[in-house]
Amino acid sequence: MESLKQLLTIHSYTKARLRWDIKGLERRLVSLMTDISSEPRLCLEVLEQLMVAYQRLYAKTSLPAQEVPRPPSMMLRDFPLILQARAQTLRSEYHGEKKSLALAAYWQCLLDIRYCLNQEAFGQSNRPFSYHTSMFAPDHNIERWFLWLSDLIRLHRNSPRWTHSFCQTLSNDELKTIALSFHSLQYSSIVNSLFYYKIHPETLLDTLPAAEQLLRMKHQLCDLHTHIEDLFHAIAQRSWEQLSLKIADYLYHGDELPYGIHVQPLQTHKLIIEKALEVYPSSIDTQAAPVLDNPVQDILRAYKFWFNPTRLIDAIINLSIPSLSDKETSEEDSFIHQIQALSTSECLDFYGYLSNKDTQYFLRSLHMGSLDRSLPTLPNRSAEERAAIAALYEKVRQLITYVRETLDNRNITLDAYPDIEGNVDSFDPGKRNQKAIQHIITHYVSPVRRRQSSVDDLLCEMEADK
């Protein structure tokens, strides 16, 4: 009985604290909306916090209201008083029979405010990107169009449902112009080149980038391509509903191409994409909805269509990197956290891939590459290169061990993993695994810094002068 009272006390305190926080957020939102100098984005941040707090208070993931954005009948300046009135009504009916109706009315008010704020955010920018038709015709300037597209995404990518808000700011002529640009093979081809570089970021630069730069580029390319896809779908839907204009989809979607299919990007596209990436955000916003999938899912894509050991290497390296929001997390904890978050069915599927023949051959190839012996199918490897291959081999073995331990904790018994390190004399890595080992050497071996003789001579002279 005593423990039950304690739980009820904690529950009541949590509810009271949430109601207190909500009142503070409401006061702050009203203050921001009545201040003409306030940034719409700041209002949106407070509004999102308020909506999350109400969802927690009523223990619901969604509330009874129309979620599809629609133009409200009032202006933004009318909503501070309306919000205060709706909040007062809801508090008075907190334990009453009309609670659900009051909650629905309050929630719809928040949705209307969000709609108006999104319009304000785009309107405040004074339409900086020249939406007029000369942007696309008659010279068909692909560079100007793609850089405009990249700038648009760069400025609004963190706004909720920004593509929908953007489409609502367009006139019929502007909407038709942008829709027809996506309908053109000439314009869509550069987006497909972006898709290719998203899969093969190492081919974008003439010189091989460091591992950190390669990962940063991959995030930039994936984020940009994902937002372009979202914008295309929003433009296509809006043009059909508003103009009865149906446009063809010439874009490549997904994260991989089937085996035997290749994309040939144009050199001019490469230069334009490089120029766009120079100003595109390279940091990952941990507060925004993630564009990239769970790293475990990225590992599974290495087995889609055909086994791609090079992609598996990059995915495992990405999985071993601790979360940006928790810098104290170790690499081991990062592995374990990602795996334990999987359902049992996902864990079984994951282990099925990690224990198949392709993975076993890949592990044997890594083990062979880490040994100090000459092989006709592998390049000569320095001690540092062998150490990098051995480190990757240990990461894969460690990943397999964690998956097995996770399944064992869920009362699932597995057969012993096949012996990888036996019969090495009769094993010869295949072409894909040879390419994967070369990928490790190229991208995951720390470059040896050459001695700077001039600097060494200067240091020696300084020592002599002492």
pTM greater than 0.85: no
Spatial separation of the C-alpha atoms in residues 27 and 17, rounded to whole Å: 16
176, 239 Cβ separation under 8 angstroms: yes
pLDDT attached to residue 272: 92
Q: Is the pLDDT of residue 133 over 80?
A: no
**Between the ranges 13-22, 97-106, 272-281, 301-310, where is the mean pLDDT highest?**
272-281
Average pLDDT over residues 170-185: 87
What does the DSSP assignment read for 78-106?
Answer: GHHHHHHHHHHHHHHTTTSTTHHHHHHHH
Inter-CA distances, 106 with 87, 169, 181, Å = 7, 26, 41
Instruction: Verify cis geometry, omega within 30 degrees of 0, for the bond prior to 376.
Output: no
Among 237, 228, 141, 157, CA closest to 191 = 228
Per-residue pLDDT, 107: 84
In terms of Cβ atoms closer than 10 Å to its own Cβ (0-12, 13-18, 19+), residue 119 is middle
The answer to whether 172 and 242 are in contact (CB under 8 A) is: yes
Can you tell me the mean pLDDT for 151-174? 81
Which own/partner contact pairs does 264-272 have at CB distance under 8 Å and 24+ positions apart?
265/192, 265/193, 265/196, 265/197, 266/189, 266/190, 266/193, 268/142, 268/143, 269/142, 269/189, 269/190, 269/193, 269/194, 270/193, 270/197, 270/204, 272/142, 272/143, 272/146, 272/147, 272/190
H-state helical runs in 247-329: 267-279, 295-300, 309-319
Nearest CA-CA partner of 174 in 200, 197, 152: 152
The residue among 194 and 322 whose pLDDT is bigger is 194
